[in-house]
Chain A
Amino acid sequence: MSAMTETTQPRRVPTGDREDEIQVYGLHKSFGELEVLKGIDLTVHRGEVVCVIGPSGSGKSTLLRCVNMLEQPTQGQVFIMNEEITDPDADIDRLRTMMGMVFQQFNLFPHLTATENCTIALTRVLKKSSADARRIAQENLAKVGLGDRGDSYPAKLSGGQQQRVAIARALSMDPEMMLFDEPTSALDPELVGDVLSVMRDLANGGMTMMVVTHEMAFARDVADRVIFMDGGVIVEEGPPDEVIGNPKEERTRLFLKRVLDPTHVNAGAEDAAYAERHKAARVHHHQED
């Protein structure tokens, strides 16, 4: 499982193994002066649930967004189902239909009903008949516990319901794998559980999942592997009991201490560390505007 961490030299060809659904080699990403990812190597296997944890600004969301090319990597390669998505000639749109993506801010289409949110890509991208599309949408809405809300517009749904529609929307494409970008971070605490339980069901159903999250209990329970990122590199990875339960690296220990027991952290030190991390990030944000 940790075979790829021993690879020092970035490889240039996919393994060809159907089990290696996501392969990332030597991935770098810079926003202007700021280098967010500093060489990531990673393989996610079929049916595996990988949780990526780490402090904000550590590059974990950027990593996820590079996997489906919402961000263009500066350097390195990403293979999806052994096809290189970072290849300039790659059919990115087709490869993206194999990866469902769930966003922190849901990003449901507000002008479409829950059902239409699920069907639009089915009919337009996969060219399904509208009857088939509606049936698939209904199935997936039922799967996330919203079988009766198909006609609702997103604005009429709670945050937790919206996120579950977003999951149903991604599942409707019948993807090989799901990418979750902090799916519960924008939710009121009492609504987090519904979304996590849907994700847990997915994981138990054998879905390949890459989850950027702050939910340590979820990571510990559901993940096959936990990756701790800090400063744009993978600091530590392994089974959840090791990385979360008994971390080897000092940086992992410090992070977990802050997350799991925030009241016992020296507030001043935390603020200083946060300001330090975000000094560069703020500059980048201004450039982006």
Chain B
Amino acid sequence: MTTATAAPAPQKKKMSPRKRAKIIRIIQYTVLALALVAVIAFSDGQQIMRTFFRPDLMQQTIGVGLLNALKNTILYTAGAFVFGLLLGTMLALMKLSQVAPYRWIATVYTEFFRGVPAIIVLLVFSLLPLALPGLRIPLDPYGTVWTALGLVSAAYMSETIRAGIEAVPKGQMEAARSLGMPSGMAMSRIILPQAFRIVTPPLTNELVLLTKDSSLVYVLGLTGEAFELTKYGRDLANTHANVTPLVIAGLSYLIITLPLTFLVRRMEARQKKAK
């Protein structure tokens, strides 16, 4: 098969593949440079500044409120992540269980929460006390957000964790069992620590997604104290009829997400090296 494709059709022009690649690259760079020049030439810098980066609004946005919003974003995210991680691990173990009903429950759960928009789960959850009088979600609004976003992220994380558990060689369980460990102990002491090491990069990616998903909290009727970045930016943007605060809020997310993605890349490189 390889011998058939290895012999190329006789070329009309005498151009080596390497030379052709070089020419294509030159064309690409030229187009890119032209596009850049066009953008700069035709855009009005001041207009852009007025729309997206109004200095007085930037000054007003960056302050104690922004810090508080950043703190809340982190709080919402971290809580939902912890909740999702615990529930996700439980679901992953259920998916690998010998007991068929456990597997069914976990599968139905995962398919449901992966298929439903997080924003709807959040809205429904915030209205639960209305449907079930007497139900009080503790630490409102944090409890509501943690549970709702945690429920959704658990569905995604359970798939990742299940794959991690399955990636641990079968001999590890056998060695643990042959030392007299009961299966639960072997799972928690031997298999899970290795599985989590394997899935730390994808779970950190999940954390990045969750950080951005925490912006959905804006649909809840929150008080100023509980504002997270998006709600905070939106509020200020509405007041001043200018998008600058939202731009600032958006850039603030990078303070959280960039270090995380950097961390993931390093961990992945290290794992690749370890192999």
Chain A residues in contact with chain B, CB under 8 A? 68, 70, 93-94, 96-97, 99-101, 103, 105, 107-111, 120-121, 124-126, 155, 166, 169-170, 173
Contacts and interface: CB of A to CB of B under 8 A. Distances in A.
Main secondary structure of the interface of B (DSSP, over half): helix
A120 B176 CA distance: 10
B109 to A, nearest CB: 26
Nearest to A120: B189
Contacts of A166: 175
19 contacts: A68-B178, A70-B177, A70-B178, A99-B178, A100-B178, A101-B178, A103-B174, A103-B175, A105-B171, A107-B169, A107-B172, A107-B174, A111-B194, A120-B179, A124-B181, A125-B181, A166-B175, A169-B179, A173-B179
A155 B273 CA distance: 12
B34 interface: no
A155 B189 contact: no
Nearest to A100: B178
B180 A93 contact: yes
B180 A173 contact: yes
Interface in B69-94: none
Nearest to A166: B175
A125 B197 contact: no
Interface string B164-193: 000001011011111111100100011001
Contacts of A96: 177-180
A124 B185 CA distance: 8
B197 A111 contact: yes
Interface in B185-229: 185, 189-190, 193-194, 197
Contacts of A105: 169, 171
B274 interface: yes
Contacts of B274: 155
A155 B178 CA distance: 21
Contacts of B177: 70, 93, 96
Contacts of A109: 172, 175-176, 190, 194
A97 B171 contact: no
B180 A103 contact: no
B178 A110 contact: no
Interface residues of B, number: 19
B192 to A, nearest CB: 10
A155 to B, nearest CB: 7
Given A111-B194, A120-B189, A93 B181 contact: yes
Nearest to A70: B174
B180 to A, nearest CB: 4
A102 B21 CA distance: 55
Given A107-B172, A109-B175, A121-B176, 4 more contacts: A93-B177, A96-B178, A105-B169, A170-B178
A96 B179 CA distance: 6
A72 B193 CA distance: 27
Nearest to B168: A110
Contact of B182 (A93, A99, A110, A120): A93
B164 to A, nearest CB: 13
Contact of B180 (A97, A107, A110, A111): A97
A107 B181 CA distance: 15
A191 B97 CA distance: 40
B187 to A, nearest CB: 12
Contacts of B182: 93
A208 to B, nearest CB: 16
A30 to B, nearest CB: 20
A169 B189 CA distance: 16
A109 B176 CA distance: 9
Contact of A101 (B172, B175, B194, B197): B175
A162 B172 CA distance: 14
Given A110-B194, A120-B189, A125 B171 contact: no
Given A96-B180, A173-B179, A103 B193 contact: no
B30 to A, nearest CB: 49
A167 B175 CA distance: 12
A13 B179 CA distance: 26
B99 to A, nearest CB: 17
Contacts of A70: 174, 177-178
A154 to B, nearest CB: 11
B189 A107 contact: no
Nearest to A98: B180
Contacts of B197: 111
Contact of A103 (B171, B190, B194): B171
A244 to B, nearest CB: 29
